[in-house]
Structure 1
């Protein structure tokens, strides 16, 4: 009987310690995503000062950092946040991209979505986002001169910006992007 109680107490203690370690690990990962998102925003502001004004006036925005490779088939993925300017809350998000076509490259790319209204932001956070892609080319050195590729592009919920931080991509491809809420970090 004592042995059984000891096992139950031991299992309970192990469970509590594991939950504490998970919470600490989660907090570390959230801080890392927030830091990368903050840096990506600063990169956008350096590339085009008008973006800071657009973000400041918007009901919300989402910013992502992705890393990808392509050689015929391509893929990229990353994490980011969707920020509600009114509530000051962040939702942790994932982004994945896939493509196929005449393409080659590697890149470190930032994406910024500036939402036109609170409903568009809420739909983005709650339902995710799917989009198709077309021809693309971009280059960046990873230094301050990295530039906003193709300027602002309108989408149904607002305006999107793309910044190639480092790498080189060229080609024509068909593909898509998917954004969804990160279940582990929210």
Structure 2
């Protein structure tokens, strides 16, 4: 009788582990699909606001789209989000996360999207392989570095890298210095 109970307990344990592994894999696939859908919806919204952005993104080496939620109360604030980077040449997808910290006066909650455009493979590779950290060092004008055209609505953040930012929901009033980190999502890659 003890052997039957022991074998039954062992079988149940193995089945629970197998089920949990399958559920975790399905959950990861669901999270990846959700990020793909959010990326497509964000790009559609960008193209409605900035129609020329579609051609810019399609002809770039790659792009990354992040959807984030930020909170600012008094002197401190933070934001977090998830997204994905896509290499236009290979079609490779890298799932990523972002974290932002703020210091400065403000109050509010907002949801927003950041779309990175990478002019060359080096810029895309640096972003996805080394991650990214920066503060508010953007310039007011952007140039594509190839044809001399301006990337309307985009802001250059480093050589070969531009961003578009759109607020999707919420209202925030702030004057802040921000530090933002972008990095690979170890669980989804």
Please indicate the TM-score interval, normalised by the length of the shorter structure: 0.7 to 0.9
Determine the C-alpha separation between the residues in 2 that align with 1:128 and 1:83: 14
Kindly indicate whether the alpha-carbon contact (under 8 Å) linking 1:66 and 1:79 is maintained by their aligned counterparts in 2: yes
Q: Distance in 2 between matches of 1:93 and 1:118?
A: 18
Residue 139 of structure 1: aligned partner? none
Which one has the bigger strand percentage? 1
Checking the alignment, whether the CA contact within 8 Å between 1:59 and 1:86 is kept in structure 2 is yes
**Residue of structure 2 equivalent to 1:181:** 184
Q: Matched residues in 2 for 1:171 and 1:105: separation?
A: 8
Shift of 1:154: 0.8
Q: Which runs of 5+ in 1 are unaligned?
A: 136-149
TM-score by length of 1: 0.85
Match of 1:172 among 166, 170, 175: 175
Q: Alignment length, in residue pairs?
A: 172
Instruction: Identify if the C-alpha distance between structure 1 residues 75 and 134 changes in structure 2 by more than 3 Å, giving closer, same or farther.
Output: farther
Q: Is the 8 A contact 2:137 2:157 kept in 1?
A: no
- Report the CA distance between 1:9 and its aligned residue: 2.9
Q: Is the 8 A contact 1:134 1:173 kept in 2?
A: no
Tell me if the contact between 2:109 and 2:172 (Cα under 8 Å) persists in the aligned partners. Answer: yes
Q: CA deviation at 1:50?
A: 0.9
Shift of 1:158: 1.4
Instruction: Identify the residue that residue 50 of structure 1 maps to in structure 2.
Output: 52
For residues 39 and 29 of structure 2, the distance between their equivalents in structure 1, rounded to whole angstroms, comes to: 15
Deviation at 1:21? 0.7
The alignment's C-alpha RMSD in Å is 1.8
2: CA distance between counterparts of 1:108 and 1:175?
Answer: 16
How do 1:81-96 and structure 2 match up within 5 A? 81-96=84-99
CA distance in 1 between counterparts of 2:136 and 2:77 reads 12
Give CA deviations for 1:105-134 in whole Å, capped at 9, x if unaligned.
221111000001112111211111101127
2:41 to 33, 39, 42: 39
Residues 63-122 of structure 1 deviation map (CA, whole Å, 9 limit, x = unaligned): 011111112211111111101111212111111111011112221111000001112111
